[in-house]
């Protein structure tokens, strides 16, 4: 299935959804950033360090490009929050976090439709967001109906349909 944003294909790779692919790419970038922060020593002149550094930079760059081309707002936000968390909690990773974050935002600016996809001012007109809000309202009503027992094993779908009636 092809996912589109403004007639631009959202990359989904070998996943069913661009959102899942975005989460995968985000994890690859974050793990590579952690690896660089832990093992890279700029004073080392050994070939293996140059090789690992080059491989890590190539992997991060490719993953950043793919992450941006998924056009997954959720993937973007989750990635930036995780990057911020790493930057706050890991002093040795701070320069990598700043570099990766800067490249990521630059890539969003450079791709067609990048800033319009990231625009949170359109939340009242974006059908994807409107639908998600309606689904969450229905799910919260199901949870409020029986907060201790829930809907039961396999019963959420039937309970949810009692509360959520999509307009046709």
Does residue 45 or residue 84 have the better pLDDT? Answer: 84
Statement: residue 13 has pLDDT above 80: yes
d(CA 54, CA 27): 19
* DSSP code for 15: S
DSSP alpha helix (H) spans, the chain = 18-39, 47-69, 73-89, 94-110, 114-118, 127-145, 156-163
What mean pLDDT value characterizes the chain?
79
pLDDT of the residue at 21: 92
Q: Is the pTM of this model over 0.75?
A: no
Give the pLDDT confidence of 129-165 residue by residue, as tens digits.
677 777 778 778 888 887 887 777 777 777 777 776 6
Give the pLDDT confidence of 40-81 residue by residue, as tens digits.
666 767 777 778 888 888 988 898 888 888 888 888 888 888
**Do 102 and 95 touch, CB atoms closer than 8 A?**
no
Query: Virtual CA dihedral for 25, 31, 34, 39, nearest 10 degrees?
Result: -120
SS3 for 23-43 is: HHHHHHHHHHHHHHHHHCCCC
Distances (CA, A) of 161 to 16, 147, 155, 166: 25, 17, 10, 9
């Amino acid at each position: 299935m092809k996912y589109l944003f403004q007639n631009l294909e959202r990359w989904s790779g070998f996943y069913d959804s661009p959102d899942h692919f975005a989460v995968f790419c985000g994890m690859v970038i974050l793990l590579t950033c952690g690896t660089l922060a832990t093992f890279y020593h700029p004073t080392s002149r050994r070939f293996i360090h140059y090789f690992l550094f080059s491989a890590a930079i190539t992997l991060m760059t490719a993953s950043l490009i793919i992450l941006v081309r998924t056009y997954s707002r959720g993937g973007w936000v989750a990635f930036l929050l995780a990057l911020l968390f790493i930057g706050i909690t890991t002093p040795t990773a701070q320069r990598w976090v700043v570099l990766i974050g800067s490249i990521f935002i630059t890539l969003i600016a450079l791709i067609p439709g990048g800033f319009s996809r990231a625009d949170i001012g359109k939340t009242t007109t974006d059908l994807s967001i409107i639908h998600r809000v309606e689904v969450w309202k229905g799910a919260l009503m199901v949870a409020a109906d029986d907060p201790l027992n829930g809907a039961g094993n396999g019963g959420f779908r039937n309970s949810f349909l009692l509360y959520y009636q999509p307009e046709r």
